[in-house]
Structure formats: structure tokens, C-alpha cells
Chains A and B, each alone.
Chain A
């Protein structure tokens, strides 16, 4: 969905490095989410934010942090990347109906 963009689309990094994944949306939604997707495990929620001043941990927040810089921007950081953080990462927004609108994903490989 072009209304939700993620950068970079692919990233290779080394163990111990700090990286940031960025998400921007033009849908005007207050609610934003970060998920990771692993084969056979579906989508798991990392962090979510209901407005600029609101940050909440999801199911698997350890090793991650987020920043909600503005209504339209929600970034995910890995302070010290480790190989088991290799995954596909999705940003999403939601409207008042709670339908999620996903970005195209960022494929991360931690060596």
C-alpha cells in the first residue's frame, strides 16, 4: 500500500550494530504498529502507538525500541542487532475501525 512506506526495503547488518527502520504514512491515522514476521509464526507485535505521546510494548519488545516523531512517522530501532532478529518487519497503521494497513515490509538480515 503506497500510503504506508518503509525504508529501507532490505538491510544487511552485522551483530552488535545499531540500525533503524523507518515508517511513514499519509493516511492520517493516529495508530501505528511494528510487527515482525518469521516463517511459520505469522505476525508478532513489537510496539504500537496510538498517538504521538503514546508508546506501548507488544508481545516481543525486548531488544527493540521505537520513536514516534510525528503522527506520520514511527521508527523502530535495534540497539544491538543479533542474528535471531533476522526477519521481515512490517509497519502498519489503523483507522477507528481497527483495520490495519500494512507497508511493503523491510527484510533484515543480521550476520
Chain B
């Protein structure tokens, strides 16, 4: 079946480095993607989104890249800080009766060392 998955379950970086978290998706009909951050003991929080008519979108210190050819999504975090330590999920949104139903990947744990 169609699925969303992550290549790396854990990513360790040094403070100040750039981080890249990857996500593969297999549903070619998905046209809206979101990255969420989940800190320990909390629910996931929206970071950034991208629609399939774009290949790059930038936010504050974060950039999402979308490669539809290989069905790949990445989240880049610039100058990673200890507060960025969390689990990051990508979610693909597929249309269902005109609305979108999200499917989440397994998540990548980002550990930032001071």
C-alpha cells in the first residue's frame, strides 16, 4: 500500500550545524505536505508546509524541499539549536471527498549536542 516513511530514525548533530531530515512518500496523488515537530511530552506542532506546485519553501531557519520526481521531501534546519531537539514528522495529505486526510511518517529523532 501507499505509505510515508523516513530514512533515518535518529539524527545527532552539534549545536550550530545544519540539520537535514528526510522523508520518502509513495502516494503520487499527494499534493500537500507538512512537517511537524514533537517535543517530549507534547503534541506535534506545525513547522512548515509545501504544496506540490512548489519545490522549495523557506521559513525562519527552516527550509522544506520537495522532489516530486523521486517522491522525496526534506526539512533543513539552519544553525541547529538545543531547542530543536525533538521528533520530526512529515505528513502527506491525500484528498478524500474534497478534503485532505493526513498520513504521518514514523518520525526522526533529532538530538542536538551543545
Contact = CB atoms under 8 A, between A and B. Distances in A.
Interface residues of B, number: 23
Contacts of B32: 98
B44 A102 contact: yes
A100 B99 contact: no
Interface in B90-114: 91, 93, 99-107
Interface string A78-111: 0000000000001010000111111111000000
Interface of B is mostly: strand
Nearest to B6: A42
B35 to A, nearest CB: 11
A45 B101 contact: yes
- In the complex, which range does the number of interface residues on chain A fall in? 20 to 34
B106 A105 contact: no
Given A1-B45, A92-B43, A42 B89 contact: yes
Contacts of A1: 43, 45
30 contacts: A1-B43, A1-B45, A4-B43, A31-B99, A40-B106, A41-B106, A43-B89, A43-B104, A45-B101, A45-B102, A50-B99, A58-B101, A97-B49, A98-B32, A98-B99, A98-B100, A98-B102, A99-B46, A100-B34, A100-B36, A100-B44, A100-B46, A100-B91, A100-B102, A101-B46, A102-B44, A103-B43, A104-B42, A105-B41, A105-B42
Interface of B: 9, 32, 34, 36, 41-46, 49, 89, 91, 93, 99-107
